[in-house]
Structure 1
Amino acid sequence: MIFKKTLLSLFCITLIATSSFSQQKRSLTHEDYDGWESMSSTQITDDGKWVGFSIQPQEGDARVEIFPYSDPSKRTIIHRGSGYNFSPSGIFAIGKIVPEADTVRMMKLRKAKKDEMPKDSLFILDLNTGQMEKFANVKSFSIPEKEGDWYAIHFEKPEKQKEEEKHSGEEKGEAKSESDSTETKPKELKTDGTRLLVKSHSSGTEYTFERVESYGFSKDGNYMHYVLAEQDTLDNAGLYLLDLNSGASTTLSEGMTSYSKMKFSPQSNYFSYLSTGDSTKAEKKYHQAFLTDVKSGEVKEFANKESEGILEGGRISSDASFAFSEDESRLFFGVAEDYKDYPYENDTTILDEERPSLDIWGWQDAEIQPMQLNRKSREERRSYLATYDISSGKITQLEDKELKEISLPSKIKLDMALGTSNDAYMRAYSWDIQIGRDIYLVDFATGKRKLIKENASGYPSLSPQGKFVTWYESRDSTWMAYEVGSGQMINLSQGIDQPVYDELNDQPSLPRSYGSAGWLKDDEAFLIYDRYDIWKVNPKNPSNAINITAGKGRENKVEFRRVVLDREEESIDPEEDLYLRAFNEQTKDSGFYLGDISSGAEPEEILMTAHYYFSLAKAKESDEVLVRRSTFEENPDLYLTDLDMDDLQKVSNLNPQQEEINWGTVELVDYLASDGTPLQGLLYKPENFDPNKEYPMMVYFYERNSDNLHRYRSPAPSASVINIPYFVSNEYVVLVPDIKYELGLPGPSAFNCIIPAVQEVVGMGFVDEENMAIQGQSWGGYQVAYLITQTNMFKAAGAGAPVVNMTSAYGGIRWGTGMSRMFQYEQTQSRIGGTLWDKPLYYIENSPLFFMDRVETPVLIMHNDEDGAVPWYQGIEMFMALKRLNQPAWLLQYNGEDHNLRQRKNRKDLSIRLSQFFDHYLKGAPAPLWMTEGLPAVEKGKTLKYELEN
């Protein structure tokens, strides 16, 4: 009887335990990545009545959701919607519907040809009625930028037309026999153009054109241009202008081989374009530039390679776009150098196999050969800015070889612009990335240049009214202004009693500024940021700078930055409310405050919570507001509110499947570096964290990360580093400590910050001290390599793209940019602060390679053969040293991959191998076969060796 009761008790206990276990949340798996969603394209109509956003899984079909601001429950979901927009009038939404991802994948598996692949469709949603119209076989669509309710749909070729053209092409090469039928079918003429539908959504007025090659609306929605492709003969190719109100089409040009760079002026009074009659097969094509008076239809060729005023020996560039001044008095275009004739290149008596192929590196070159090769295509397309005075017909060349960089604003309202040149200083760029630049004012009417500052160390900008040029002079850590009228130099920051430079700069370079908020109306004052607050500086009286946030930022360690609500504003109206983004440096809380530019009164809190707020957007004509927010636990969903932000209404629900997952939490950890500096780190724990249990711990690091406390981290395949949600969900604790560096001591600095952070967390009692690991990529990978030469406290380590030998890396190339790596060690992240011959011991003592014999930690290295940042041989040097020393090490080399993995298939592979590697060493899981057997070259592509040992 007692035995039966015991069995019954055991059965009940087992049943309860099983029931409890079945209710537990599951851990993330690598299969979860594909379905994890993100949001993009959050939009609100100008009147604030309609809202939309797009949701994309990492793999699979996206969707667009559109709803009225007043009632988000009345929602229209467009499955597979993509690239949508609201019309300027706010009465319809338009976008593509792309083919199902699974269908596309199956077609690719069948090796279907491009023409056989499924095509996009189009949806047009009437926002008032909720009716949706759909169109199939769509190539592209367009709507006007600013006004109107027109839309244009450009269709793909119908299948019938493609088949007929295909057979027509086949028949051209066939000889007919006498027995062939004498009946002839009407010939279907071949063309690259397709049908274009142009329609007004409100009136229903529509126009249809066949064989259209390209098209585009004017901003105000009154006109459209379209190009008809040739149909077996150039005679019927042409460029046309459509008056959308009358339906009348005006012929601008016919019979040319190419029309390009079409552009309407801001008020649509003019229309410009390029064309050429040269053969499409010609290696050298010469273009002519044309200007059309839209009202009269008059077309004028205003520039060609023979035109007076353009660059000597120049031609009209087909790589540069047109730009009009806002008052439509000027047109800006590009001029390129004429084609050069190289006799050797064109010598047809030389076989390709006889031509030497080499790069010559000259010490006198301003740019080293890899930089030149990296920029070759850009230089081949280089154009020099010129301007055409529409009234006088005069062309003025603005740029040339001596001044190649003139900055035009998006709205050109002044009669001058800024030009800069760093040519005189470029030779030093390989080791000094903070070279200066000469600043010029360039007059549009005459092309004359006035040098206003030689060898400035900042990037200049012109004030909205053109009264001042401003830049941050990093050599003096000051904000400077040049008054255009008087030629006077002004130290704008002289009256600011706090640093305007980065107070935390720990690199051997000039500290950056905190930036600026821009100019007040009429160029009356300039707003400058310090670490926390905002200062108003009158350039006429800079010593009397006013702290318009009343010093409350610094007092409370809260960073204030102005929020731009009107994306088209050109200057700041001091009478309007000053909305501020706020971030608490200590707690990491964020939110918004209301300030006052005129009075400089203390900012008033609107909203401040333990969240990360971003993507604030206000309706153009009302106070309706969109904002997104997140924490590590809360997805970055979208909320509706107004400028008071009293109530935030959540209107999206990203990743509801997270509720089923053992997610995690994050908290700040305060600790002291070895030198006593207070630092912070992020500590991630599993959602089902048990303080009485000991967990394996992963330690990841890269500079400073603690400000990201409330950032959401998506489960995703790894491009290079551990995915924190995955490891936390799978019963790891993850620590991300901040690092403060001492110049010349990057390795010891990492040790002096990371190890105390680890010890602080270990002292909390829930970390399995015998099962800890470190992982990092690039600069983090270097620090991993350094740490395992200094301590054996970690059971395993992962180092991605690590620099292990600073002496060889110093002379290497960052192939992604073509730059020498010297600057990295002398001025930036590597923080040595001198040349290899100035500080040889620093290079050696900070290089882990020279101390690899101390390593007892198994290491997983990833370094790829097309790394554009860190020389691939660095990973090889580390691996070969460990192999020679008979220490467990594996090198993952993804073929054709960059510094961080680009291809998703490789990211998925790395994620699996990272988890298998650390699970084996920290959790005692069986090792996968790729670790125990390797992957021989003869098995490459045939197996992945994920299988675990028995």
Structure 2
Amino acid sequence: MRYLLCIALLLLAGVPASAQKKPLTHAVYDSWQSINERYLSNDGKWVVYTITPQEGDATLVIEAVDNSYKKEIPRGYAAEITPDNRFVICKIKPLFSVIREGRIKKKKPDELPMDTLAIVAMGKDSVLRIPRVKSFKTPERGTGQWLAYLQEKSLPPVVTQPDSTTQLNNLLHLADSLTRVADSLRNKADEAKIKGLATLKAPKKEFKPKPGEPVEEGTELVLRNLYTGEEKKFPLVSDYYFSKPGNAFVMETSRSNTDTGRKAAVMWFNTATGKTDTLFRGFNDAKSFALDDAGSQLAFIAERDSSTKALQKFYKLYYYRTGMDSARMRVDRKTTGVKNGLTVSETSVPEFSKNGQKLFFGLMAVRKPKDTSLVDFETARLDIWHYNDDYLQPQQLVQLNYELQRSYKAVLNGDADKVIQLGSEDAEFITIPDDDDNVEYVLANSTKGNRKESQWLGFAKKTAYIISTTDGIRKLVNDKQRYFFTISPGGKYVIWYDAARKNYFTYAVKTGTITNITKSIKVPLYDEEDDHPDDPPPHGIMAWHQNDKYVYVYDRYDIWQCDPEGKKLPYNFTNGHGRFCKIVYHYTPLSKNEKFITDTQVVALKLFDEVNKEHGICFHNMREKFNDYDATSECQYGLLVLQAKDNPKRFLYTIESYRFSPALIVHLDTVVIAKNVDPNGSKPIYWDSNMVRLLYVSNPQQKEYNWLTAEVVKWKLFDGKQSEGLLFKPENFDAKKKYPMILYFYEKNSDDLYVYRAPEPSPSVINIPLFVSNGYLVFVPDIHYKKGEPGESAYNSVVSAAKYFTKMPWVDSTKMAIQGQSWGGYQVAYLITRTNMFAAAEAGAPVSNMTSAYGGIRWGTGVNRQAQYERTQSRIGYSLWQRPDLYIKNSPLFRADKVNTPLLIMHNDADGAVPWYQGIEYFTALRRLGKKVWMLQYNGEDHNLVERKNRKDFSIRLSQYFDHFLKGAPEPHWLAEGVPATSKGVDWGTELEEKRSF
């Protein structure tokens, strides 16, 4: 095993601790950057990443791990490193300022600048740039020599207009020529009459066939040999695909709108021989291309009989194998095995089994076409709700497109032309094992018969079947389970968690034996601290071992290796060390292709210390016995950890802390240990550049600003239990001063101590760095809930925390406020009915009336809200008619007359989670009662703000609001007087009253 502790970086060194630092402002947002795309070459010698501002132009960086080379590509993105580690391919965006200017001038998309393709040879300074490129692709494996890119439509030729003098002269010359021609024709006609000849007649027009219906023409595709620079061009290409090893290249070309002889085609290019074959020609539409792993077989869906505007089309499945003259039709709606009323799905992408012997594809229902004879303005439009519907109408409408395109999986075995249907209305979710060569069985999950009760349960119970791909015969695995069943990569076992019995069970596909594989594990495999009035969820499955040898499952802290047959007792893979030390171990896949754990690989495990909130990471060699590992440090690791495919000792990841912005690290070959370095850089940094290399540290400008410190604070709740939360203080904190404090909360956040929080415009909540930098204290308490008492639970946690801080000499107890969004917004709305200790409050998207919200709809999903109140977040635990008193007791609206705290509400009119009228109900009640209340309603915005312009606006108003009530700053006009509808879009009201003039 190799260990890695967080490198305590000298990020904050360079500015003396005593230097006066600036407070953050709303103007700094765009100077803050993030590390986005990250790639590690197969040999581990090259790293590619992007440095991206919140708004503006990003930079793509190509860097050698040994520090011998670095190349920056302004505005580069969507990079790929070729499998042979020799080239980086990326696209380059147009300048942000140019696109912005074009949008201001309301230019059409095709009038704006297009992307450029960039090709960089590793270690070279030159960059080959190819303008106006729509997309590019490279093979997933292979030599790495091939690149294909599709160009944008050609620009129309530029016609230079002559000046006015030239135009006048040209017209005079043309008139003179026409006069001479007319005179000549008249003379010839007179001569003909004299000679008795017939006068001249215009020749008959040559017949030209009518062109077909216009199509969206493809554009030029270029296939480039990166080794030689040679290029082969193909016109009118609509889509294109490489096989995984790069031995085959498939193109779909469109027909031409001007050349009637050029028909749509599917072509196959052999990259080894350079030969191009036409596999299929003269179709209306082709899509969903799929190649097998070897690059020798192709399947696709096509339709060649209907017009482009036909209301009903019947697609067919076509197949090609190298050596055939052309692609042949394998399946249509008349093929044996295709049931009446079904046809080949146009939306399901075919898929070959690992050995290429089976071809999976989709079937879908033939739907009645729309009657075009009906006149829209004479036809009723309505939704009909029925008590026996599987789902409510709003949910049906949200899922409408999915349902109209629903496919049922089917399979062809080898060269047999009989279709074996696998999926159906009661076997709708089909899973194909990831690593089963021939796929003898697939797994089907179904919710049929259990969907109606999902309205109040919050889930539909599942039934599982194993279905033979040879004859379609299915066997019941189990039913009435809360969680989905999954199948092992090798297809030998089905596994599921039984929520009622709180254990994992397997089903052996060959024998049909069901085994409780975790019954001997004495510690809970479910969330021990879950406080919802429902069965607690499991910690989950980590991964399977190769050949389905073991399955690994989590408890709260440790990882258990379980025998899927149940013959061997479960083995604590992490030696019980996690529970003993209160350290949580969690597996992180090192590539998207990591389907299982092997006997020889290195696995990455992230660590989290529940006591001190520190994080760590270890790389464990599966050949070795697991050693206890508890080396954590004051940082957090990014979600993505990459491993070099051909150099398994080399890893790429990011680290961060509340102290420093994310940094990009490449782990080389051996152990590195560095910890407990002073954040001001006064202590030395111990790390060996032969072991690890710091590639990039984002946001060095942070050291110029008054940043924050963070710590865990523990206190006693009113009920006597201990809780904890996060306290954020300014970097220049002075215990002799008094500070205003804002308490922000949702549920539990104390585990996020070392998360880096960037200054950025907020979608809904306070930006902690911004407020702390400007002299606020921010406390984020954990909230502990009791069934039926969500409001009082918030009071027990939040108000007890506020009372605790009033005893601190550096807290101004008269200048405390609360803020929350969504569930946090509800709790804010409730708390101000129970206490007057806060000087101000802000509630985003709050539920104010549980009795009206209970039967409402989450419009983003169409789901009814009953389950949320009875079993999940709201934690009431009963239906409205069972305990109406609890719904009234926990609804702020019914205690609105008790409110004396100024309240700002943000609730947007396109909120898809909390009905917009909840904010309106509370606002109108408080307004009638003469309370100080304001509501911000961003038009067309969702639950959380999406558009950056609105986020900026809200962030400014939130600062102005709290600055006024907690710091005594002048009121902005919107707060003092509001902004009437007649001034909407003209007067934003953000000017301070003392500075306002007209």
What TM-score comes out, normalization by structure 1 length? 0.93
| Residue aligning to 1:39 | 35
- Is the 8 Å Cα contact of residues 433 and 490 (structure 2) preserved in structure 1? no
Q: Which of 862, 887, 890 lines up with 1:818 in the alignment?
A: 862
- The corresponding residue for 1:885 is 929
Secondary structure of 1:439's match? strand
8 Å CA contact retained: 1:812, 1:820:
yes
Q: Cα deviation per residue 1:764-822 (whole Å; 9 max; x = unaligned)?
A: 32111110110000000000001101111110000000001111100100011101000
Whichever residue aligns with residue 57 of structure 1, its letter is P
Aligned residue in 2 for 1:749? 793
Q: Structure 2: which amino acid aligns with 1:74? A: Y
> How far 1:22 sits from its partner (Å)?
12
Ranges in structure 1 where 5+ consecutive residues have no aligned partner: 1-19, 165-176
**Match of residue 150 from structure 1:** 146
Partners of 1:910 and 1:808 lie apart in 2 by 28
Once the two structures are superposed, the pairs formed by residues 452-471 of structure 1 within 5 Å of their partners are 452-471=477-496
**Matched letter for residue 158 of structure 1:** S
Whether the aligned pair in 2 keeps the contact of 1:532 and 1:553 (CA below 8 Å) is yes
Indicate whether 1:895 and 2:919 are aligned.
no
User: Does the aligned pair in 2 maintain the 1:744–1:832 contact within 8 Å?
Assistant: yes
- Superposed CA offset, 1:106-131 (max 9, x none): 11111222221111111100004343
Whether contact under 8 Å (2:436, 2:491) holds in the other structure is no
Instruction: Give the C-alpha shift of residue 855 in structure 1.
Output: 0.5
Match of 1:209 in 2: 234
Q: Which residue in 1 is equivalent to 2:346?
A: 318
Q: 1:249 aligns with which of 267, 276, 300?
A: 276
User: Aligned partner of 1:323: which letter?
Assistant: E
Paired position in structure 2 for 1:373: 397
Rounded to whole Å, the distance in 2 between the matches of 1:101 and 1:371 is 39
- Taking every aligned residue pair, what percent have the same amino acid on both sides? 40
Amino acid at match of 1:583: F
Query: How big is the shift at 1:658?
Result: 1.1
Q: Deviations over 1:826-859 (max 9, x none)?
A: 1100000010011111111111111011100000
1:632 to 650, 653, 658: 658
Match for residue 569 of structure 1?
A: 594
Contact 2:246 2:295 in 1 (8 A): no
Question: Which of 109, 113, 124 does residue 114 from structure 1 map onto?
Answer: 109
Partner residue of 1:658 out of 702, 707, 718: 702
Matched with 1:393 is 417
Q: Distance in 1 between matches of 2:523 and 2:17?
A: 58
SS at match of 1:894: coil
Counterpart residue identity of residue 890, structure 1: W
**Cα 1:347/1:590, change in 2 over 3 Å:** closer
Q: Taking structure 1 as reference, are residues 503 and 316 closer, same or farther at Cα in structure 2, changes over 3 Å only?
A: same
Q: Provide the secondary structure at the position in 2 that maps to 1:786.
A: helix
Paired AA for residue 789 in structure 1: T
**Contact 1:547 1:600 (8 Å CA) reproduced:** no
- State the alpha-carbon separation in 1 of the partners of residues 601 and 112 from structure 2: 53
Q: CA deviation at 1:524?
A: 2.7
Q: CA deviation at 1:339?
A: 2.5
Residue 134 (structure 1) aligns with? 129
Shift of 1:537: 1.9
Partner of 2:170: none
CA distance in 1, matches of 2:535, 2:542: 22
2:679 equivalent in structure 1: none
Query: How many Å apart are 1:545 and its aligned residue?
Result: 2.1
After TM superposition, the structure 1 = structure 2 runs for residues 46-57 of structure 1, keeping only pairs within 5 Å, are 46-57=42-53
1:384 is aligned to 408
Whether 2:932 is the aligned partner of 1:907: answer no
CA contact (8 A) 1:34 1:58 kept: yes
SS in structure 2 of the partner of residue 423 of structure 1: coil
> Contact 2:442 / 2:469 at 8 angstroms: preserved in 1?
yes
Secondary structure in 2 matching 1:875: helix
How far apart are residue 32 of structure 1 and its match? 1.1
CA distances 1:881-932 after superposition (whole Å, capped 9, x unpaired): 1101100100111111111111111111111110111101001011111111
1:152 counterpart letter in structure 2: A
Offset of 1:235 from its aligned partner? 4.0
Query: Residues 696 and 603 (structure 1 numbering): CA distance in 2 closer, same or farther, change over 3 Å?
Result: same
Aligned residue runs from structure 1 range 683-694, under 5 A: 683-694=727-738
* Cα deviation code 1:418-461 (max 9, x no counterpart): 10111111011111124321110011111111111021222211
C-alpha distance in 1, partners of 2:159/2:220? 17
- Change in Cα spacing, 1:231 to 1:933, as seen in structure 2 (3 Å) is same
In structure 1, which of residues 441, 465, 489 is the aligned counterpart of residue 466 of structure 2? 441
Deviation at 1:642, TM superposition (A): 2.9
Name structure 2 gaps, 5 residues minimum: 1-15, 161-174, 182-201, 673-690
Q: Work out whether 1:418 is the aligned partner of 2:462.
A: no
Shift, 1:643, TM fit:
5.5
Q: Quick check: 1:35–1:60 contact (8 Å CA) kept in 2?
A: no
1:616 shift after superposition: 1.9
Would you say how many aligned residue pairs link Structure 1 and Structure 2? 912
2:58 to 45, 59, 62: 62
- Of 813, 831, 856, 1:787 maps to 831
Do the aligned partners of 1:98 and 1:120 also contact (CA within 8 Å) in 2? Answer: yes
Pick closer, same or farther for the CA change 1:92–1:602 going to 2, 3 Å: closer
| 2:890 paired with 1:846 | yes
1:587-628 per-residue CA deviation (whole Å, 9 max, x = no partner) reads: 0111124667688654245x5211101222111111111121
CA distance, structure 2, for counterparts of residue 109 and residue 937 of structure 1: 25
Q: 1:227 aligns with which of 233, 236, 252?
A: 252
Structure 2 residue 99 is matched with structure 1 residue 101:
no
Deviations 1:657-705 (A, max 9, x none): 2121111111111112222222210111111111111111111001100
- Give the partner amino acid of 1:243: N
Residue type at the aligned position of 1:628: T
- Aligned mates of 1:163, 1:412 — CA distance in 2: 61
User: How much does 1:155 deviate?
Assistant: 1.2
CA drift at 1:758: 2.0
The one-letter code sitting in structure 1 at the alignment partner of 2:660 is E
For 1:484-883, what aligned pairs fall within 5 Å after superposition?
Answer: 484-541=509-566, 544-574=569-599, 576-577=601-602, 579-593=604-618, 602-605=627-630, 607-614=631-638, 615-622=640-647, 623-642=649-668, 644-646=670-672, 647-883=691-927
Amino acid at match of 1:865: D
Indicate yes or no: 2:331 matched with 1:335.
Answer: no
Map of 2:378 onto structure 1: 354
Distance 1:104 1:212 in 2: 27
Inter-partner Cα distance in structure 2 for 1:234 and 1:841: 75
Structure 1 contact 637–651 (Cα < 8 Å) conserved:
yes
What amino acid does structure 1 have at the position aligned with 2:582? K
Tell me, in whole angstroms, the C-alpha distance in 1 between the residues paired with 2:510 and 2:375: 62
Letter in 2 for 1:274: I
The 2-side partners of 1:396 and 1:284 are apart by: 25
Greater CA deviation, 242-251 or 811-820? 242-251
What do you get for the CA RMSD once the two structures are aligned?
2.5
**CA–CA distance in 2 between the matches of 1:882 and 1:93?**
60
2:875 is paired with a residue of what secondary structure? coil
The alignment partner of 2:457 has SS state of coil
Matched position secondary structure for 1:124: strand
Q: Which moved further from structure 2: 350-359 or 506-515?
A: 350-359
8 Å contact from structure 1 (residues 269, 295) kept in 2: no
Contact 1:234/1:257 (8 A) holds in 2: no
Cα distance in 2 between the residues matched to 1:307 and 1:196: 36
Q: Helix, strand or coil: the match of 1:281?
A: coil
State the AA in 2 paired with 1:866.
Answer: A
1:542 Cα deviation from its structure 2 partner: 5.7
> 1:165-190 deviations in whole A, cap 9, x for unaligned?
xxxxxxxxxxxx99899999xx9999
**CA radius of gyration, larger in:** 2
Which deviates further from its counterpart, 30-39 or 906-915? 30-39
Tell whether the 8 Å contact from 1:632 to 1:666 is kept in structure 2 after alignment. Answer: yes
State the shift of 1:739 in Å.
Answer: 0.7
Distance 2:158 2:750 in 1: 58
Distance change >3 Å, CA 595–CA 103, structure 1 → 2: closer
Specify which structure has the bigger relative contact order, considering alpha-carbon pairs within 8 angstroms and separated by 6 or more residues.
2
